[in-house]
Amino acid sequence: MSLIVQKFGGTSVGSVERIEAVADKIAGYRDQGHSVVAVVSAMSGETNRLIGLAHDIQDHPTPREMDVLVSTGEQVTTALLSMALNKRGYTAKSYNGSQVRILTDDTHTKARIKSIDGDRIRKDIEAGTVVVVAGFQGVDEAGNITTLGRGGSDTTAVALAAALKADECQIYTDVDGVYTTDPRVVENAQRLDTITFEEMLEMASLGSKVLQIRSVEFAGKYQVPLRVLSSFVDGPGTLITLESDTNMEAPVISGIAFQRDEAKISIMGIPDRPGVASQVLGPISDANIEVDVIVQNVAADNTNDLTFTVHRNDLQDAAAILNQVAEKLGAREIVTDDQICKVSLVGVGMRSHAGIASKMFAALAELSINIQLITTSEIKISVVVDEKYMELAVRGLHSAFGLDGEPESVE
Ligand code: ADP
Ligand code: ASP
Ligand code: MG
């Protein structure tokens, strides 16, 4: 008998029929004697619908009111799922984030969980009740409702699993595991039986939204056994592991991640002297704009060009700030491009294999895809390319690195 935290994402609870199917799945686990805590998302499309309503009223609603609004989606699902379980003869109780006391900081719309009071849940579990918790939300010290950022129900589930010392945290979604790349973009992507926390963290932060980044961080930190599975079809899913696959045949590259919605901004001809990078990037970070890839190049005439990427939504604000900075520093010009994307190779095997970067660049060259920026770390290589080549690049690299799942790839 074990304690399992099961999270069901938007499509998994997207209709009454889907909620009934989830209730059947939970009932099956209860019948085997397991205790279940279910964490649910809003029904698919609901969070976006609520955000749309807000923007019909105000361009920039306060983050506090946004949180009050968007947190309602999850609450609806908790009650409906509890009813579906009750109808089947199982006791079930729904709770929202503040009732379970998922205490967060006060950063509305992207709050971080500080603690969870597991006592109430534990009592219910001991009484044989299925506890159904609203994902994505919490409460700050002052009692304000907060939310955890898009995809945040994953993090609620992992945090609950850590707090309750659950035997496993199962993330049920609309694909049957973590794939070598998004199976909606590359149809011969392959499901991975296992992936390390380290690799999953890179995949998530480089654009694979199958798990929210923070949920992976949390699972790694508290060593929560984490599995991604389909709520539509049965199967083993993908287990996120601490250790890498020591099998000699294990592929060097585990996956390919990609991110649309990026933008590039360059400040050209800055007089080159110590401190200019911080004078350029300081005001950007003061404005809470997240900077990703950064490249600086010194030209022969003692000026330098600094290029960096930001989320496309932040481009206007970043450009406005840089125009002021450019004037102050005497830089020549600002150039922006909002038609770029980032494609990344991820794999712990890169540590022990040379030549991955050159193989990647050669594969892209063969496809006549121009690389604009490159950044590497121990277990990933990312390139920024024109957005129109994104799918071509991902498919080409997937095949070049032997990740395709078609029979011809089997020697
Ligand atoms: P949920 O609503 O259940 O939280 P999400 O839409 O947030 O589901 O995440 C699941 C989606 O993640 C899949 O439908 C798939 O398109 C996408 N995805 C991106 N990269 C990957 C990957 N490497 N493996 C599996 N799914 C991926
Ligand atoms: N409903 C929220 C979202 O759409 C949280 C989640 O589903 O994880 O982002
Ligand atoms: Mg999600």
pLDDT tens per residue across span 81-124: 999 999 999 999 999 999 999 999 999 999 999 999 988 899 99
Nearest ligand 2 atom to the CA of 42 is 1
The residue whose CA has the least distance to atom 25 of ligand 1 is 178
- Cα 10 to averaged position of ligand 3 atoms, centre (Å): 7
Q: Can you give the length of the chain in residues?
A: 411
- Which domains are seen in the chain, by residue range? 3-174 (3.40.1160.10), 255-400 (3.30.2130.10)
Q: How far is the CA of 352 from the centre of ligand 1 (A)?
A: 29
CA distance readout (Å), 333 to 285, 322, 336: 20, 10, 10
Contacts of 184 (CB under 8 A, 6+ apart): none
- Which 8-state DSSP code applies to residue 191? B
| Atom nearest to 178 CA in ligand 1 | 24
Q: What is the pLDDT of residue 409?
A: 38
Ligand whose nearest atom lies closest to the CA of 207: 1
**In the Cβ-directed half-sphere of 107, how many Cα atoms lie within 13 Å?**
9
Question: What gap in Å lies between CA 204 and CA 199, rounded to an integer?
Answer: 9
Give the closest residue (by CA) to ligand 2 atom 5: 151
Q: How far is Cα 59 from Cα 76, in angstroms, rounded to an integer?
A: 26
Residues with CB under 5 A from ligand 3 (ion): 9, 151
Q: Is the CB of 43 under 6 A from ligand 1?
A: no
What pLDDT does residue 246 have? 58
Would you say the CB of residue 42 lies under 6 angstroms from ligand 2? yes
Whether 243 contacts 196, CB under 8 Å? yes
Residue nearest to atom 1 of ligand 1 (CA): 9
22 lines ligand 1 (CB under 6 A): no
Residue type at 349?
G
47 is known to lie in a ligand binding site:
yes
Q: 10 among the known binding-site residues? A: yes
Question: To test the ligand 1 pocket, which listed residue (175, 187, 254) has its Cβ within 8 A of the most ligand atoms?
Answer: 175
Q: What is the 3-state secondary structure (H, E, C) of 205-231?
A: HCCCCCCCHHHHHHHHHHCCCEEEEEC
CA torsion through residues 274, 278, 281, 284, sign: negative
Q: Does the annotation list 140 as a binding residue?
A: no
Distance 173 CA to ligand 2 centre (A): 12
Q: Identify residue 302 by its one-letter amino acid code.
A: N
End-to-end CA distance of the chain: 43
Q: Which residues contact 318 (CB under 8 A, 6 or more apart)?
A: 263, 265, 284, 287, 289, 310
**Beta strand pairing call for 130-134 and 168-173:** unpaired
Low-confidence stretches of the chain (pLDDT beneath 70): 244-250, 406-411
Q: Are 277 and 328 in contact (CB under 8 A)?
A: no
Rounded distance between C-alpha atoms, residue 16 and residue 145, angstroms: 27
Mutate to test the pocket of ligand 1, among 11, 173, 181 (most ligand atoms within 8 A of CB): 173
Ligand 2 atom nearest to CA at 212: 8
Instruction: Name the closest-CA residue to atom 11, ligand 1.
Output: 210
pLDDT of residue 218: 94
Amino acid residing at 379: I
Q: pLDDT for 315-364, tens place per residue?
A: 999 999 999 999 988 999 999 999 999 999 999 888 888 889 999 999 99
CA distance 397 to 75: 42
| pLDDT at residue 407, as a whole number | 40
pLDDT of amino acid 405 = 85
Residue 249 has a pLDDT of 57
Q: What is the pLDDT of residue 243?
A: 75
Q: Do 127 and 120 contact (CB within 8 A), yes or no?
A: no
7 marked among binding-site residues: yes
How far from the centroid of its chain's Cα atoms is residue 46's Cα? 19
Provide the b/e sequence for 395-405 (b: ≥16 CB within 10 Å): bbbbebbebbb
Answer yes or no: is the C-beta of 135 below 6 A from any ligand 2 atom.
yes
Ligand 3 centroid – CA 369 distance (Å): 31
209 is in an annotated binding site: yes
Residue 272 is labelled as binding a ligand = no
For ligand 2, atom 9, the nearest C-alpha belongs to 150
Q: Which of 335, 337, 341, 338 is nearest to 322 (CA)?
A: 335
- Looking from the CA of residue 74, the nearest atom of ligand 2 is 1
Long-range contacts of 285-291 (CB under 8 A, 24+ apart): 287/317, 287/318, 287/321, 289/314, 289/317, 289/318, 289/321, 290/314
Atom of ligand 1 minimally distant from the CA of 255: 23
